[in-house]
């Protein structure tokens, strides 16, 4: 390459302050210069004349570099970071105020451990925020295999492993997202490997049999199918939009029909559904927790502690009142006002994450956010249903249901904010001829 073009690139690069964006931007600029030079050579110019003309048509190097610098800068997410930390701190304060020092049948909140979890959670939030999320696209297959092997190893630990499997499985949708992303342009081979790649993850989660099995299984399946449909609509694999969407839609209909048949033919699921909406039908069995949750809510006040009319203290009747049913405890002990304030703050955070994720132009960015925020939305809906007395499936409410939940969710939220922070980062996608840079890939 000539000194003239290299000098131009050096001058332009000196104006670009974001170090992570500079290599991709200069490579894109180099590609344009070389293309223009080749066009001039084809018109009969000499090498030196062609290079000079290419530089001339590109414009002043300093002005071009400054223009790239203005467009490609990090987008700090201080507002969402502050909102996430505020919601997490508020959740911990309410949890300690309501449960610390109170004897619960299952476990009692430990103040030092809970505070440590909050500190670790905030640290994980910033760790995820400052990470380069694009590594997910570079190592998609390796991340998927590591998640699969780690899950199998955790299941092998029996009692201890099964306890943590419900937390590990929260990362499975993201592992599946980067797996399907890694098969771009590989035609039917990549399409089939992507689609069937969800089966091993489902199998590991199913074999574990840990708490929340049914919910995690359904969330992974639903999130995976939505991600596949999204990529098929973009013709990510190169098999045609109609073929990809048609096959996946048929798969969704088949899986949905099979699920309905299984529910209708299963006495267990029939009882769960029936008692979920009408817990009084089995108040000492499937409807026990739902009945107690509804009783606590019915006597709740707008502010202050409600009236409990059970045979035993609330803490004995709601053994998970310090964990998955913490929201029920909050309404019962503090009233609807504090509950609504905390929930509205959390919903504001979730809606902001979802909306900003849907606006992402880069495919990897959108997949990353959707793989995290969609399960979070599912968890929110199911957990709110539980706390309102509709107990069909079990799910941890994001950020609030325990120390491990807090740390895990804070890291995943930080990773989403990393996507938004690097929204202006050029993404390279290798093709058979050269390199393409852009936001639409």
Give the pLDDT of residue 30: 84
Residue-averaged pLDDT of the chain: 84
Say how far residue 79 (Cα) sits from the centre of its chain: 19
User: Distances from the Cα of 273 to the Cαs of 261, 286, 395, 418, in angstroms?
Assistant: 14, 9, 16, 39
What does the pLDDT look like over 317-368, one tens digit per residue? 887 777 888 899 999 999 999 999 999 999 999 999 999 999 998 899 999 9
What is the SS3 assignment for 215-259? HHHHHHHHHHHHHHHHHHHCCCCCCCHHHHHHHHHHHHHHHHHHH
pLDDT range class, residue 146, cuts 50, 70, 90: very high
User: Distances from the Cα of 327 to the Cαs of 101, 115, 162, 190, 345, in angstroms?
Assistant: 18, 19, 25, 44, 14
Give the pLDDT of residue 104: 65
Look at residue 405 and tell me whether its pLDDT is greater than 90.
no
Q: How many CB atoms lie within 10 A of CB 211?
A: 16
Cα(350)–Cα(357) distance, integer angstroms = 10
The fraction of the chain above a pLDDT of 70, given in percent, is 91
Give the pLDDT of residue 317: 80
Identify the weakest region by mean pLDDT among 282-296, 332-346, 368-382.
282-296
What does the pLDDT look like over 170-197, one tens digit per residue? 899 999 999 999 999 999 999 999 999 9
The fraction of the chain above a pLDDT of 90, given in percent, is 39
Residue with tokens 């006495």: 267
Q: What is the SS3 assignment for 402?
A: coil
Q: Which residue has the higher pLDDT, 283 or 77?
A: 77
Give the pLDDT of residue 58: 85
């Amino acid at each position: 390459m000539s000194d003239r073009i290299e000098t131009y690139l050096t001058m332009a690069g000196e104006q670009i302050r974001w170090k992570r964006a500079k290599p991709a931007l200069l490579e894109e600029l180099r590609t344009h210069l070389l293309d223009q030079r080749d066009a001039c050579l084809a018109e009969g110019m000499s090498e030196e004349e062609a290079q000079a003309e290419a530089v001339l048509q590109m414009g002043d190097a300093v002005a071009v570099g400054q223009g790239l610098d203005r467009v490609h800068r990090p987008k700090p997410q201080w507002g969402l970071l502050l909102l996430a930390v505020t919601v997490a701190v508020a959740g911990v304060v309410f949890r300690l105020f309501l449960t610390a020092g109170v004897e619960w049948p299952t476990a009692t909140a430990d103040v030092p451990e809970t505070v440590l979890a909050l500190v670790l959670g905030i640290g994980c939030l910033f760790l995820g925020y400052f990470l380069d999320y694009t590594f997910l696209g570079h190592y998609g297959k390796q991340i998927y295999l590591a998640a699969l092997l780690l899950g199998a190893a955790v299941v092998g630990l029996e009692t201890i492993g099964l306890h943590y499997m419900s937390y590990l499985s929260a990362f499975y949708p993201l592992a599946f997202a980067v797996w399907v992303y890694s098969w771009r342009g590989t035609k039917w081979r990549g399409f089939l490997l992507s689609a069937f790649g969800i089966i091993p993850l489902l199998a590991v989660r199913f074999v574990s049999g840990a708490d929340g099995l049914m919910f995690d299984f359904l969330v992974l399946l639903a999130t995976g199918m939505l991600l596949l449909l999204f990529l098929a609509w973009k013709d990510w694999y190169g098999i045609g939009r109609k073929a990809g969407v048609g096959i996946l839609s048929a798969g969704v209909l088949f899986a949905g029909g099979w699920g309905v048949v299984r529910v209708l033919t299963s006495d267990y699921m029939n009882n769960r559904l029936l008692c979920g909406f009408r817990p009084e039908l089995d108040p000492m069995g499937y409807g026990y927790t739902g009945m107690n949750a509804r009783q606590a809510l019915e006597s709740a006040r707008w502010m202050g502690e409600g009236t409990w009319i059970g045979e035993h203290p609330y803490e004995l009747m709601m053994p998970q009142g310090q964990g998955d049913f913490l929201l029920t405890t909050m309404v019962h002990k503090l009233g609807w006002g504090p509950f609504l304030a905390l929930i509205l703050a959390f919903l504001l955070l979730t809606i902001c994450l979802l909306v900003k994720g849907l606006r992402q132009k880069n495919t990897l960015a959108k997949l990353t956010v959707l793989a995290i925020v969609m399960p979070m939305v599912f968890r929110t809906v199911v957990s709110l249903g539980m706390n309102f007395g509709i107990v069909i499936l079990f799910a941890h409410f994001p950020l609030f249901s325990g120390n491990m939940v807090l740390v895990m969710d804070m890291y995943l939220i930080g990773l989403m904010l990393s996507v938004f922070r690097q929204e202006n980062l050029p993404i390279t996608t290798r093709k058979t001829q050269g390199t393409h840079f852009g936001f639409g890939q």
